[in-house]
Amino acid sequence: MTTTHPLFDLAGQVALVTGASRGIGLASARALAQAGAQVVLCSHEAAECEAAAGALRAEGLDAQVVVADLVQRPQVDALVAQVLASHGRIDTLVCNAGAAPHMGPIATASDADWELTMTLNLRSVLWLTSAVIAHMAERRSGSVMLMSSIAGLRGNKGLGLYGLSKAALAGLARNLAVEWGPSGVRVNAVSPGVTRTEFARPLTDQPEVMQRRIALTPLRRIAEPEEIAGAVLFLASAAGGFTTGHNLVVDGGTTISDGN
């Protein structure tokens, strides 16, 4: 018989996860549900999100779906309203939805690349947190996680625009932590390294690129989505109850290595 350690027990809580149809988002939703939370999966891809929620329900987990295109503010507001109407509360918010439409030097990014990257990766997160945290503050309890990236911690020749948006997310987490900490709400960022997901396939499908990356990573491998989800679970739970404004780097040591 498996039991949840009290520090990680989320029974009776409600968790909203965006970008939840696959990858890190789905792994995070599963981890939170396994800890006892009722999870709401959000994506703009209705069929994929329903399939993901169905898979969780088949495992005996409590999972529902709300479809929303987060680059449209009215849909962000409607998402929050629907979750509050159906569940009455949101205890954990995981802002995982994101996009990287541009590869290459930042100066070659089009206006459309900038618009999508900054609206989905950053501005929609501000909209969503603004709508959710006020309700958390009324109950003087809540945990918010913004999915950043190690691309936001250092320069990157191929993902500079994406990195800018992710660096801004870590800054947003710090600001929101300061603003809302007195109301009992914790806000943190999580910065994964390269993770085995569909999103990362432009990198992971290039053996030579991955050979170099892995050689620069002390653990000599890339992350599995469940390992990022473990960080999310920690920050959502009582185990992370005194952690706020932090950018939790989960990269196998990539950013601390000197290349040896």
* Residues tagged active-site: 162
* Dihedral sign (CA 22, 25, 27, 31): negative
Amino acid at the residue 164: L
CA–CA separation, 53 and 41 (whole Å): 7
CA–CA separation, 54 and 40 (whole Å): 12
Residues 6 or more apart whose CB falls under 8 angstroms from that of 220 comprise 214, 252
CA–CA separation, 76 and 252 (whole Å): 34
Residues 6 or more apart whose CB falls under 8 angstroms from that of 138 comprise none
CA–CA separation, 95 and 114 (whole Å): 19
